[in-house]
Amino acid sequence: MKLRILFFAISALLLSNCTQKLVRVKPYERGNLAHSVMSPERDGLLTAMTQHAYFSREASFGGGGVGGGGCGCN
């Protein structure tokens, strides 16, 4: 049992070194993300209406937006 726990602990330690490099999109690879259709707020009116409907139901404000789209420049 101890050996198994030790094995999984070492595995997690070894593999954690590469997770960031494997998952993150490099700044120079964001061509597809920079496309206008990838923006969640490409239509201002639709965004405002959707947010209003969402927050009305959730009875809260703020918390919207996901930092995944766009070119990520500067």
Partner 1 sequence: MKTYFKTMAFILMTASAGVSSSFAAEASVGAAMPGLGTLLPGSSLPKTSGKVVLVDFWASWCAPCKLSFVTLQRLHQKYASKGLVIIGVGVDEDAGKFQTFASKHPAGFTLVHDTQQSAAAYFNPPTMPSSYLVDKSGKIRFIHQGFRGEKTEAEYVHEIEQMLAE
The residues that touch partner 1, with contacts defined as CB under 8 A, are 3, 7, 10-11, 14-15, 17-18, 21-22, 26-31, 34-35, 71-74
In the complex with partner 1, the residue whose CB is nearer, 12 or 48, is: 12
Residues 69 and 37: beta-carbon distance below 8 Å: no
In the complex with partner 1, the residue whose CB is nearer, 10 or 53, is: 10
Query: Which DSSP state fits 28?
Result: G
In the complex with partner 1, the residue whose CB is nearer, 3 or 45, is: 3
Cβ within 8 Å of residue 73, ≥6 positions away: 27, 34
